[in-house]
Structure 1
Amino acid sequence: MSEPPAKAAPTEPVEPAERPEPPKAVRALLRALRWLAQFPFTIALVAVMIVIAILTGTHITPLARLPWYHDVATGLPAFKQGHWWTLGTSPWFIAHPLRVIGALPLVVGGVGWAEAKFGSLRALGLFLAGHLVGALGAAGTLALASHNGWPWAAQVSRALDVGPASGAIACLVFAMSTLPSPWRLRARYAVVAWAAIGLLYVGKIVNVEHAIVVGIALLVSGLLPAFRHPAGRPTVREWRLLGFVGLIVIGVVEVFALLIPFNSPLGQNDPVTPTADVIIDLVAIAILANGVRLGLRLAWIATIVFACFNLATAAIATVFLPQALDLGLLDEPGILFTSILPSSVLWLAQLIVMLLGRGAFRVPLLHSRRTFAARTLTRTEALDRLREFGGGNISWMIGWPDNRHIAVGSGVIAYQAHAGVAIALGDPIAPKEQFGIALDEFARSAEHAGFVPCVFSASALSDENRPAGWRSAVIAEDTIVDLPDLAFTGKRWNSVRTSINRAAREGIEFRMCTLADEPWSVLAQVRAISEQWSGDKGLPEMRFTLGTVEEARDPETRVGIAVDAEGSLHGITSWLPVYGPGGQIRGWTLDLMRRRDDGFGPVMEYLIAESAKHFAEAGYEFVSLSGAPLVRPEQEDPGPVDFVLDRLSETLEPLYGFRSLHFFKRKFHPRHEPLYMLYRDEGDLPRIAVALTRAYLPDATLRDLASSAASARS
């Protein structure tokens, strides 16, 4: 028998070679293509418009000069001739090469936004509907108006128009309905003002179409269930914003009427107003607008007087118009109407806004009189309520200097005022079920006093109970070490045990004390160490949520010190009490951390570990290592506000080491709780940023900030 053939040795499975990662430029291109794939209709619309403009030569020649213009443009003359197909041809053309500057951004912004929100088919439907409503609505309106002998209507009714603007505006208005409050109201107010000014002060057929599309789109989007939002009165802030924008619009229109001749529904305008008069009006309007923005009572009264004066002037001029014509004072009545009536319409709208929102304009002119309507509390009263109701891990800071205290129901809120912003510190001191009421009352009182309200370093409970429509952003992480069963055993505590053992070998002792009771020699060393630390930073010590030696001297604050056999201090930590309801201290929060430059190396690990052991033996529940400002949890999805805070954190890191401090605290394996900043909306953020800078660095000059930022970048 022959032997069976030998089996082939099993072959090792060959792993597929890893594909090389494409270059960064290729990856960016692929991401851009995937993003653009969301907008097929917008891209196709823009591409068709560009191709048609190039093929027909209208990218360099106005379409009206071409012989076939009347065959593609819509308007009352086209419909009278039976050219109904122009409804389908007109949206793909641009009437004049210069109109591309306005048309393309409007198409890309309006249609693209609607396509991103509603999908390609719905965006196409909105675009076509807007185009039909604009073309047919303008033709119908002008047909009715021109029969009444209205010169403007008779002239405009003979005009033709092309372009995608009406459809794009419809898409834009519907997309705006998806905005959150208060941006939705602001956007609608802006588009209505734009359409009204165009109609009153330009008065061409395109302006008629745009005004009709805006009006119909706003009406329909407000009636459709998918776009309907709960109705409600504008807030105090919104009334002030409406009044401010209205005055700015009036100022812009006065400049427009001074520089540009026009033929509007109210007559023809040839600029005749003296420049000096307009400049005086603009200065007055600018002063009034700023006062209205702040809610000043005096600005409200002055605006009412201005509006009534303009309306009274228009009424008197209209009443005495026949006499002026008979006496030869006027050659054309249209001159009077054109110079007075358009601005009078705007002043009438402004007067209505100011009267309806009169409750929003009660702020006194003098800063000394801008106080909260709520009752002011003393520091002692505020801390008494803190002991009664309990508070958060940073609530003891409400007793620090520069904080003001107001009563909110049975509780209290502490705040600081900087740059027109009232920054509430931490959670309200109140029963937890009253947090929402307390925050609402604080926001309302701040707005009526002319301040921008903001809450800084609030807990998740405050975030859940923030006022309706407010936003929130995570601005820090609180690091908490639970004390029951705390033991520095196991591999993960190696670095902490090493610091404790090394301190014993080098004769370093730990002592928990009350700094206010310590002898002068100890206090002098504490001050010297703190001054050495702050002197190396190039900026003054930070305040607000970061205490100094003066706060550490509070009799209720505990201070841990590391001292050697000669009595020399190597480092200090201060701990703030965390009260629970009924005056019981539940835990302690780390505040001041200072070490001597040439002292015991791991003194901070040693001090924190020994302090935690001390508080654990005393029966407390936890210690908070406090939150590092401007440090966001890694697992949080960043938003636009977070990106700004991250950049600010990176800038300040070389100076204050917030992130380094946050990583240092990980040695103690804490659990983390987010801390929030609560604010009305993104429009407040620039001013809040200035206010927080002043709160944290009240003694820093502009030169200090600039030089420190430059050194940090280098």
Structure 2
Amino acid sequence: MHFDVSWSAAARRLPFTAALFVSLLVVGIVTGSLWSRANDKSWYHEVAFGLPALREGKWWTPISSAFVEPGPWLYAISLIVVLVGMGWAEWQLGTVKAVLVGVGGHLIACLLTAGLLWLASTELTSWRWAEELSESRATGVGALVVSAVAVASATVRSPWRLRVRLLLGAIVAITFLFQGTLASVEYVLATAIMLVVGERYFATNEHGYTPRTRREVRLLGCAALLVIAAANLMVFLFPSSGPLGPTDSDDNSVFTMLIGLVINVAIADQLRRGKRWAWWVAVVFGVLNVVLTVLAVVLVAFTDVSTEGAVTLGTTLLWALLLAILIPGRFAFAVPWRVRKVGTLGSDPATDPADRVKQLLRAHGGGTMSWMTTWPGNSYQFTDQGTSVVAYQHHVGTHLALADPICAPERLPAAVDAFIDLAESAGATPCLFSIGTATSQVLVDRGWRSVQIAEDTIVDLPGLEFKGKPWQHVRSALNKAGKQDISMRMVTLADESFAVRTQVRAISEEWVGDKGLPEMGFTLGSVEEAMDPEVRVALAVDPDGNVHGVLSWLPVYAPGGEVAGWTLDIMRRRTDGFGPVVEYLIASSAVAFKDEGAQFISLSGAPLARTGDFDPEPLDKLLDALGAALEPYYGFRSLHTFKKKFNPRYEPVFLAFRDESDLPRIGLAISRAYLPDATAGQLLKLAASGTE
């Protein structure tokens, strides 16, 4: 009974999909084409679309062709495609919009294909493939479904909107690669046109064709290159004739094919890791492939030259798809062959720099932001035989040091001086960002300027009790969680199940996608940083295993290696989940850390957000403008206000610079450090919003 009700409900929710499915099935049964080839039937030319049909005045064929499939196996595929593809598109768009974009895209693709083939078959060209297609006819519902799916992809949140588009593009390109038929040309045109239509008129949650996060760019780039490798393997194993002639080549050996396959897979793996060299190799090969194919098309179309081998329009479409991911997403591939380090690491020069930084943190202790110096993207200057280190990033001619130097207290002035010498000897502007009072004073004593840029919010744990009116909001969150059976789990995220990690990533990707700007960096981590085994992650989970919220906590070491406290980093909540989940997780985490003996938690300083009165320094105005511009996207100042619920004490966080002449470059460097993934257009838009 439940099965019948489900199908009935689906038919009511998806009437167009149901009608299209039934129509295809009925036509296949009535005409007998469900079990025999339709294009062998006498009536096929009356319903099939093509340039000959238009010349014969059969104006109805663009519509009639959508309800007939050429052969039995194509019927089986089309029925599945309608159920999955058209059903999903109608679910996303609604019936009326799904009909309009599906039918409209199908008609546009049919007529545009006919127009292009007419041009290609004139005396201006001698392209045999185009001439053959101009005399052929085709049927199928594919272009209709492809059009609807392409438009519906604009309504999906990150990361799935890009994944749907990549999957659609790969399927269409591979279909074109192995068929090269009139119908597959329609698929390519329908995809290209309707993706633009969907983005322009149907996008709801976010806009753009590029991924928002580094991880997503890397995964999509890796997946696209693996698809290309698989396509090349299939072309080798099953050669055919395509738009540019035969796809086989007499001089291609199995050994050569395997070498190429291994190289593609190896580069794909390095793209997944974000390696800069792999990005360059993939982009250069992709551009060369596209350029050579364009030249081949010109030669084949306008001369008597014939081509063979791996040069095909289908694989070029895949390379173009990969380039569309890699070039706008170049920010995701900043991992060098080796992490840059300056100076010596002491007795073990082979030690990984980030691991050595962690060792120094345990030996000397660090501040609430010191663990961020271990993240990818930082370069390191080691001094005193590897016993002192400064982490920094280089942006727009500025060496931007992150947090206090990690060293023995008596070596602090020497570490600061060494970093200044490093920057100035390289012709870069030195700047120290998010430093504490002690480091700030060292620089002030050297004639530098130091301004407060944030406030670290500290909650002391000994004696912490959520009693009294100041803790009313926190108690309310804890009580509501208990009533809804929400529990907190303190975990190591890397050890969690695939299902839990997938939920955490999905929550984070959705949060980033809502911002309209790429994922931030520098002092703001992501799920990748939360995967560190030494980072603790608090999850709010319901009895069904659904994750409602995520916090990550970075360790703060005291000298000697004991964890004295924890710093809040990522803070994500599911949009349709438990409301006060963040308040609940922070309070529950505080209790858990208190029971373990920790002395404090830091809710971290919201970047570019401060309270109280400050002297109107020039840099203050610059940072205030940047903070105001970012507020609608990331809510730093709202976040700073939110943390007041936990009655913290405040500790100042400073930025130090030589003099006011360095400020323009420092401001640009800070913007680029926080938004390493932003395009020039996004930064201009951001700057404009900050001046309104």
TM-score (norm 2): 0.52
1:88 aligns with 2:63: yes
Judged with a 3 Å threshold, the aligned counterparts in structure 2 of structure 1 residues 372 and 32 are, in CA distance, closer, same or farther, namely farther
Q: Hey, what's the Cα distance between the residues in 1 that align with 2:54 and 2:319? A: 38
1:244 aligns with 2:208: no
1:127 aligns with 2:97: no
Query: Contact between 2:86 and 2:148, CA under 8 Å: does it hold in 1?
Result: yes
Counterpart amino acid of residue 192 in structure 2: G
Match of 1:255 among 218, 233, 239: 233
Judged with a 3 Å threshold, the aligned counterparts in structure 2 of structure 1 residues 250 and 581 are, in CA distance, closer, same or farther, namely closer
Match of 1:359 among 331, 339, 351: 331
Counterpart amino acid of residue 162 in structure 2: L
Match of 1:378 among 346, 361, 364: 361
Give the alignment of 1:268-667 within 5 angstroms: 268-270=246-248, 272=250, 273-303=252-282, 333-336=305-308, 339=311, 347=319, 350=322, 354-364=326-336, 369=352, 371=354, 378=361, 385=368, 409=434, 418=494, 440-441=520-521, 456-457=537-538
Judged with a 3 Å threshold, the aligned counterparts in structure 2 of structure 1 residues 416 and 38 are, in CA distance, closer, same or farther, namely closer
Q: Hey, what's the Cα distance between the residues in 1 that align with 2:41 and 2:256? A: 44
Counterpart amino acid of residue 457 in structure 1: A
Q: Hey, what's the Cα distance between the residues in 2 that align with 1:304 and 1:581? A: 41
Query: Contact between 1:248 and 1:289, CA under 8 Å: does it hold in 2?
Result: yes
Query: Contact between 2:247 and 2:308, CA under 8 Å: does it hold in 1?
Result: no
Unaligned segments of structure 1, at least 5 residues? 1-25, 326-331, 387-404, 427-435, 483-543, 552-556, 559-573, 583-620, 623-714
Query: Contact between 1:372 and 1:449, CA under 8 Å: does it hold in 2?
Result: no
Q: Find the counterpart in structure 2 of residue 174 from structure 1.
A: 151
Judged with a 3 Å threshold, the aligned counterparts in structure 2 of structure 1 residues 72 and 285 are, in CA distance, closer, same or farther, namely same
Percent of aligned positions with the same letter in both sequences? 27
Q: Find the counterpart in structure 2 of residue 106 from structure 1.
A: 81
Q: Hey, what's the Cα distance between the residues in 1 that align with 2:294 and 2:53? A: 40
Query: Contact between 1:295 and 1:450, CA under 8 Å: does it hold in 2?
Result: no
TM-score (norm 1): 0.50
Partner of 1:295, secondary structure, is coil
Counterpart amino acid of residue 269 in structure 1: T
Partner of 1:456, secondary structure, is strand
1:264 aligns with 2:247: no
Q: Hey, what's the Cα distance between the residues in 2 that align with 1:241 and 1:479? A: 30
Q: Relative to structure 2, which stretch is displaced further, 259-268 or 147-156?
A: 259-268
Q: Hey, what's the Cα distance between the residues in 1 that align with 2:171 and 2:229? A: 14
Query: Contact between 1:109 and 1:172, CA under 8 Å: does it hold in 2?
Result: no
Counterpart amino acid of residue 214 in structure 1: T
Match of 2:120 among 141, 145, 148: 145
Judged with a 3 Å threshold, the aligned counterparts in structure 2 of structure 1 residues 467 and 165 are, in CA distance, closer, same or farther, namely farther
Query: Contact between 2:245 and 2:307, CA under 8 Å: does it hold in 1?
Result: yes
Query: Contact between 1:75 and 1:161, CA under 8 Å: does it hold in 2?
Result: yes
Residues 636-663 of structure 1: CA deviation (Å, up to 9, x unaligned): xxxxxxxxxxxxxxxxxxxxxxxxxxxx
1:213 aligns with 2:190: yes
Counterpart amino acid of residue 335 in structure 1: T
Judged with a 3 Å threshold, the aligned counterparts in structure 2 of structure 1 residues 201 and 375 are, in CA distance, closer, same or farther, namely same
Q: Find the counterpart in structure 2 of residue 492 from structure 1.
A: none
Residues 159-178 of structure 1: CA deviation (Å, up to 9, x unaligned): 11112111111111122211
Higher relative contact order (CA 8 A, sep 6+): 2
Query: Contact between 1:63 and 1:94, CA under 8 Å: does it hold in 2?
Result: yes
1:164 aligns with 2:141: yes
Q: Hey, what's the Cα distance between the residues in 1 that align with 2:202 and 2:570? A: 27
Q: Hey, what's the Cα distance between the residues in 1 that align with 2:106 and 2:287? A: 39
Counterpart amino acid of residue 286 in structure 1: V
Judged with a 3 Å threshold, the aligned counterparts in structure 2 of structure 1 residues 89 and 129 are, in CA distance, closer, same or farther, namely same
Match of 2:181 among 185, 204, 207: 204
Query: Contact between 2:162 and 2:210, CA under 8 Å: does it hold in 1?
Result: no
Q: Relative to structure 2, which stretch is displaced further, 291-300 or 52-61?
A: 291-300
Q: Hey, what's the Cα distance between the residues in 2 that align with 1:462 and 1:450? A: 9
Query: Contact between 2:172 and 2:187, CA under 8 Å: does it hold in 1?
Result: yes
Partner of 2:335, secondary structure, is coil
Residues 567-603 of structure 1: CA deviation (Å, up to 9, x unaligned): xxxxxxx766666999xxxxxxxxxxxxxxxxxxxxx
Q: Find the counterpart in structure 2 of residue 609 from structure 1.
A: none
Query: Contact between 1:107 and 1:168, CA under 8 Å: does it hold in 2?
Result: yes
Q: Hey, what's the Cα distance between the residues in 1 that align with 2:290 and 2:532? A: 33
1:192 aligns with 2:159: no
Q: Hey, what's the Cα distance between the residues in 1 that align with 2:51 and 2:298? A: 36
Residues 197-231 of structure 1: CA deviation (Å, up to 9, x unaligned): 43355311011110111111111112216558334
Partner of 1:83, secondary structure, is coil
Partner of 1:117, secondary structure, is helix
Query: Contact between 1:127 and 1:168, CA under 8 Å: does it hold in 2?
Result: yes
Counterpart amino acid of residue 260 in structure 2: D
Unaligned segments of structure 2, at least 5 residues? 340-350, 370-390, 392-401, 404-432, 435-454, 459-489, 505-514, 541-548, 553-567, 605-644, 647-692
Counterpart amino acid of residue 44 in structure 1: A
Alpha carbon RMSD of aligned pairs, Å? 5.3
Q: Hey, what's the Cα distance between the residues in 1 that align with 2:79 and 2:144? A: 12
Query: Contact between 1:362 and 1:448, CA under 8 Å: does it hold in 2?
Result: no
1:53 aligns with 2:28: yes
Residues 273-322 of structure 1: CA deviation (Å, up to 9, x unaligned): 2122111111111111111111123433544565578689889999999x
Q: Hey, what's the Cα distance between the residues in 1 that align with 2:80 and 2:296? A: 42
Query: Contact between 1:221 and 1:228, CA under 8 Å: does it hold in 2?
Result: no
Partner of 1:378, secondary structure, is helix
Judged with a 3 Å threshold, the aligned counterparts in structure 2 of structure 1 residues 277 and 205 are, in CA distance, closer, same or farther, namely same
Larger Rg: 1
Judged with a 3 Å threshold, the aligned counterparts in structure 2 of structure 1 residues 294 and 82 are, in CA distance, closer, same or farther, namely same
Counterpart amino acid of residue 361 in structure 1: F
CA drift at 1:98:
0.8
